[in-house]
Chain A
Amino acid sequence: MKKIENKKASQIRQIWALVRKSTFIKLGVSIMILFGIMAVFSPIWIHINPEVYDPIIGADPNVHGSVGPSLQHPLGTDDIGKDLFSQLLRGSQVAFMLGMMVSVFSTIIGAAIGLIAGYYGKIWDTLLMRLADIILTLPRLPLLIVISGIFGTQSNWIILLILSLTFWPIISRVIRAQTLSLRERPFIESARVSGVGNTRIIVKHLAPNVLPIAFYYLTVTVTGAILVEAGLSFLGFGDPSNMSWGMMLQWCFVKGYVFKAPYWMIPPGLCISLLAFSFYLIGVGLEEMVNPRLKKR
């Protein structure tokens, strides 16, 4: 038993050594850590003076109209004296949580469905892939409006639900294709000759071999989720009880400050692109790493 643990530890060390070698991943993770720090710093910043710095209910009574960066307001304020830096920090939190949760949920659902459809084939494949097709053709925005209507409100939870439900079909298609080709590989056949049952073949033999691709798509999905959330918020379908980068952009646009206040417009736009880009970088690095054929030989 001890040996197995040692081996696991050395495996993790090996992966870590590979990660450290990849410039893409290093760069991506560095950017991500930056935003992570921002997210963690958000409550600390609010704590300094909640009445002024709370991104939802706070506002600086001494400020009239939007002002540029100052010591008190590192990024300036919006038109009613709300601190933009505070909003940006909160936006980092929301983007992280939402992006991560959407990608984890949709990757787990997508991988499970892709594996089942690909391995069992026949009626399972037909049913599940039709379902995926149907969901893929549903436009997200009207769907969001309809579902918000049903729940009577817009919240990040509904956005999370809709993004997860609309992102899994892409992943399941990829995993299914991968499973189809893996299913014919001799090591699956030899597992079957060894008497290994279907469930164990899926869990032990197929899943670990599609994991790298699933992981890659997880990072791609984070990018997608962040961008879609920003788009939805910008169009006014964000969670009104919270703040996100997309909503910052929306307010800037609605209040007519796009050209008047670059300190309001640029930071959230930059953050959206950078965070999305960091996951993209990690994805590229992972793909290179887990697909040794791309690198070696």
Chain B
Amino acid sequence: MEMLNIEHLTKLFPLKKKLFSRDQQYVHAVDDISFKIEKGKILGLVGESGCGKTTTAKLLVRLLKPTSGKIYIGGEDIAGLKEENLKKFRKNIQMIFQDPYESLNPRLTIHSTIAEPLIAQGLYNLEKIHDALEVVGLKPPEGFLYRYPHELSGGQRQRVAIARALVIDPIFVVADEPTSMLDVSIRAGVLNLMLALRKSFDLTVLFVTHDLAVARYMCDDIAVMHNGKIVETGNAEEVIRNPKHSYTKALLSAVPIPDPRAKRERIRIRGKVV
């Protein structure tokens, strides 16, 4: 059964009118896209910068209101819901933002930040916050609870953001390029954490990335986005091995995707030389 079902989702942003021009022009940030995510799967939304990935992510968590289209989550269409009616659904769907230096309020302690969704749902419980910190590898939790974001590294901040997203046990998580702002050296740690959590929390995930190698590592399926449209969807391995659409081919040729086995060999050879 699909957890998430997107039908003909469209988002237009009005452009500034030109002087004396009569008709309003629009940016077609998301242009009639449809896809499904099965329960417990990770769908990678891949495409180059500016193709509409973040807009899609924000539509799904209803930070933005769709111009048209449907967003079915567990069978319920949330595309047209007003802010007042969204509260119940906010418990089930969370987002991890791209830049952990921007997504945490600098004036709130880690404790207050992670407490937010719990307080909003009337479920505050210090133990849950402890657990969430432990689960994302910030141990011991007491050492982090009353610190401020600026006292943490980028990787630790993103872990806090993940803890906040998971503390109320959501069923669906949108992650918008969660490692693109992090040092290369700590990316793998955060990615592996997300894979582990996805298993233990039985999460359904939309994983946004511009990096095909990351998508291959993280995702079950891939949807390739180009100019606001989805041009190709399929099993991650299939799409990368055997791309059908010319845009996907172009993307792949621009960034060679290292085969994990080939990589190991290269390392071994270097080892011999040294």
Contact = CB atoms under 8 A, between A and B. Distances in A.
Contact of A190 (B87, B97, B111): B97
B105 A191 contact: yes
A197 B120 contact: yes
A205 interface: yes
A111 to B, nearest CB: 15
Most chain B CB inside 10 Å of its own CB: which residue of A186, A191, A193: A193
**Size bracket, chain B contacts:** 20 to 34
Given A7-B109, A195-B87, A205-B105, A190 B120 contact: no
Contact of A189 (B63, B91, B109, B116): B63
B90 A195 contact: yes
B116 A3 contact: no
B136 to A, nearest CB: 16
A3 B145 contact: yes
Interface in A165-208: 185-187, 189-197, 200, 204-205, 208
A22 interface: no
B164 A194 contact: yes
Contact of A186 (B87, B103, B119, B121): B103
Contacts of A204: 108
A193 B105 contact: no
B117 A186 contact: no
Contact of B91 (A3, A4, A195): A195
B117 A195 contact: yes
B119 to A, nearest CB: 8
B107 interface: yes
A196 B145 CA distance: 20
A194 B168 CA distance: 9
B103 A194 contact: no
A228 B146 CA distance: 45
Interface in B93-131: 94-95, 97-99, 102-109, 111, 116-117, 119-121
A193 B121 contact: no
Interface in A192-233: 192-197, 200, 204-205, 208-209
Contacts of A195: 87, 90-91, 116-117, 120-121
B208 interface: no
Given A7-B109, A185-B102, A186-B103, A191 B116 contact: yes
B93 to A, nearest CB: 8
Contacts of A4: 111, 146
B107 A193 contact: no
Given A190-B97, A193-B94, A193-B95, A209 B107 contact: yes
B61 interface: yes
B73 interface: no
A208 B120 CA distance: 19
Contact of B107 (A189, A197, A208): A208
B17 to A, nearest CB: 19
B97 A186 contact: yes
A186 B104 CA distance: 8
Contact of B146 (A7, A185, A200): A7
Interface in B66-103: 87, 90-91, 94-95, 97-99, 102-103
B103 A196 contact: no
B158 to A, nearest CB: 12
A205 B116 CA distance: 11
Contacts of A189: 58, 63, 97, 103
B147 to A, nearest CB: 9
B161 to A, nearest CB: 7
Interface in A245-297: none
A192 B63 contact: yes
Contacts of A187: 102-106
Given A186-B97, A186-B102, A194 B107 contact: no
Most chain B CB inside 10 Å of its own CB: which residue of A3, A192, A195: A195
Nearest to A187: B105
A28 to B, nearest CB: 25
A186 B158 CA distance: 13
Nearest to B97: A186
B140 to A, nearest CB: 13
A276 B47 CA distance: 58
Nearest to A189: B63
Contacts of B87: 195, 197
Closest A-B pairs by Cβ, 10 of them: A195-B90, A195-B120, A194-B117, A186-B102, A186-B103, A187-B105, A194-B116, A7-B146, A208-B107, A190-B103
Interface of A: 3-4, 7, 185-187, 189-197, 200, 204-205, 208-209
26 contacts: A185-B102, A186-B99, A186-B102, A186-B103, A187-B102, A187-B103, A187-B104, A187-B105, A189-B58, A189-B97, A189-B103, A190-B95, A190-B97, A190-B104, A190-B161, A191-B105, A193-B61, A194-B94, A194-B117, A194-B164, A195-B90, A195-B120, A195-B121, A204-B108, A205-B105, A209-B105
Given A194-B120, A195-B116, 5 more contacts: A187-B102, A187-B106, A190-B95, A195-B91, A205-B105
